[in-house]
Structure 1
Amino acid sequence: MKKNTKQPASTHTAGNIHVLTFNQRRFVTGLTWQTIKAQRNPMKEIRRVGKERGLDLVAVRRSDSIQAGFAPKTRLRLRGTYSLTVALASLLEGCCIIVIALGQSATGEAQYTLVGKTERGGIHIWSDKVFLAGQLRQTIIDLREDLRGSKGTLNVPVYGDPDIAEVTDALDLEALLTPKNLSKDFRLKPLTMGMTREQLIAAGVAVAIGLCAVAWWRYVENEREAASRAALQREMLRQAELNKEARYKAALASFGHPWIDKPSVTTFISQCQNVISKVPISINGWMSNLILCTEQGVSVQSIRRTNSAATTSGYVAAVKGLFGVTPVFSFADSSQTSFSLPHKLRPEGDDPMIPANERLMALISRFQALNVDLSITAVPITDVKQNSEGETLPLQDWQEYRFSAETDVPPRDIFTGAAFTGIRLSEITLAVNTSDGSVRYKISGSLYGKR
């Protein structure tokens, strides 16, 4: 290799320890090397030696033997650094010497360190020591002779800066020590559970603080969860009470008084009579034989007499002229037709709640006084005292009776005065006998009262 040696990007020094930077990676020199005799569990022996000497970090080189380079305690941060000696001994082939410049000493004299690699790959004991410029030439000569041993002709190249007289081969450390060439085996390893004594103390303090923080956090979290559970319980109870109240109100609403939105007896009869009075008995030859009055309107049914010359078209035209509506007629039975006159009756609203039996007795007595037969049926009530939640439900507080009667007496003569609260009519049917002109009434309705 014939390139000029590049100086490290930066050098940090503390005692014999120097930290050099190549390619943004830090390399340590100045380790104390020792051969480890224990072969079965060398790391155990390395840790024992490190503990005896109060050391924290070590670099390990495995060749024909196992060697440990111990790093003394220093203010420099050596964790994560590489051993420059192990890296060079691993990357360069054969027995060799490497000269690395370390900068100047406190007196301004140039300093160097050497790496001696034995023929079998081991690290020479003189490696990683600091030598001044005046010591360098003789030290290299002595180290080369020691590496050759009995093999006086063994070639031992000296790598380094070619400006140094004893260097035989130029070495570019930047080019050699690239990240892709580095192995984790070149790194210094911790001897005390992965941390130095100071780091262990700091870690212990951090753990203690962390445990206190966790304990406090758990206390606060437990208090928060307890408060949250209590709030949730209160909300659940409140919601349950609201749901219970809503279910009760819904059940109560289902028992709303059905007569509230229906017209009074007086209003119903008056409106029916008003419309019926406007319907002629004969409409263009068709006889009005059946008139039905309900809350929604009045329906008029007409028939065509036998052998009559009256026509359907004439009837339709007459009805349109009188009432502005179109009759409905059947092709299957052309002798019958009908039309409807819708109306809207004003609801009476609520009536005072008095016992149903009292109202029932008054109604029956009224029809008896007129010698009119009255049919009455009680509407059955199915009481649900509890719902599926076991909650007590309100019960219907009113009773309905449906009644009907057929009579020759007009409804206005039956229901006279204002003594018919709690009664609502649903239908009045007026049937006309076209033979003699007599009229028959059918009245239907409901009576309501307190149970």
Structure 2
Amino acid sequence: MARRKSIDTSIADRQKIGTFVLNGRTFVSGLHWETLDNVSSFMKEARSKGRQWGMDVVATRKGVDLRSKGKSAKYQAGYAPKNRGAAKGMYSLASVLASEFGSNWIGAFRIEEERYALAAVVDGSIVPSADRIGTLSEIREELGANFSHLAGSGVLFEHVIAPPEFEFGDKQVDLASLLVASKLKPEHRLKPLTLGLSKGELFRLILFAAIIIAGGSLYILYQARQEEMLRRADQAQKAARSRAEALLNIKPPPPAPPPPWLGSAKLTDTVAACSAAFDKLPLVLGGWVFEKASCNAGGALSAAYKRGQLATANSVLSAADAAGLPLDFYDAGESGVVNVLIQMPSASSEELLAEKQVMARLVSHFQAADVKFPLQKQAVPETPPGEEPTTSKPTWSTYTFEIVTQMPPVSLLEGLAADGLRAETVAVSLDGDAARLTWTINGALYVR
């Protein structure tokens, strides 16, 4: 009987496998690379060596020295054990990069902050000592050591790749732009060294199948009983429905529409919040002059600025940045707009007052201030003929309004009972010639 070869795990025990996820794929570095001698059956040789070293997964590649026009080719295998973090389906970073930069190159690549990868190719083959992931200092040291050793051996590099912080190299490469799906090929992926299932996997598969069969039998019995119970319940439900329809022959009324005023604060609270935010806006921003601003009940505030004489885009950007205001340009760079979100007061859930209680008092308040308060009653939408209404008719009336005034709105609304009043937008504009602000408030009144 032939003696089984002993397994030497010393190589696997020393491996430092590193992995990272980029563009939805997992990449691995730190493989143990070996040149394969048997070109015609390289995979058989790769499996034999891998089992001898106690490895679990392997990536194989054909390294071609492009300077020989394809005549010089070597097969390589990169190994890793599963207990070090490598798994089948991962992509070998060194294998992917080896297909990109020619026959002779060395490089460091930034993965994320304080994490870098090292890879190198000489005569079309991956350099085993240069498949690593580590910190900036570790990879900088290994890059220099590999470069010195290889260059001292007479290797002429076509490219030396490194990020700017290495202060070393003639080009830099962004891995996120390079490691896209079109660059990833099947030969770059790790494959299991053993075909079929291990004893543990086979046992788990048999156990799983037994559970499925037993569970399936129980489910069939359970399903038959459930179907019988459902059939009887359905018959009883149909009989009850038939009796109810025969007795009533009516449909339940549609639900009431949602009250629109419950989702926002009272008019006076919304106006106060918007006015306070407007007061914080600078009238002049880097030589650009305030034109107008608007604020809605959701807290979205927008302010427009117009370029002043001799002012520039850079001046307003610097001023906006100093004020903590995000600014975008429009009108060919002659105007700018600031868009921010402000904190709005809590929504109010007051009970609505009767229309007769509200109208005279509300109109009188604005008449006393000599400000027009036009109210437009909104008609209730009719259900089209032949269609069922989705909601019942509302129990309230809705009036819309637009207030235009040069009086500060907080002062205008002082003392106003705001039950049922809501603001949709509050806007202010500046007449530069007259040095005058005009306020516009659009909103709605809800009454019983």
Higher Cα Rg, which structure: 1
TM-score normalised by L of structure 1: 0.43
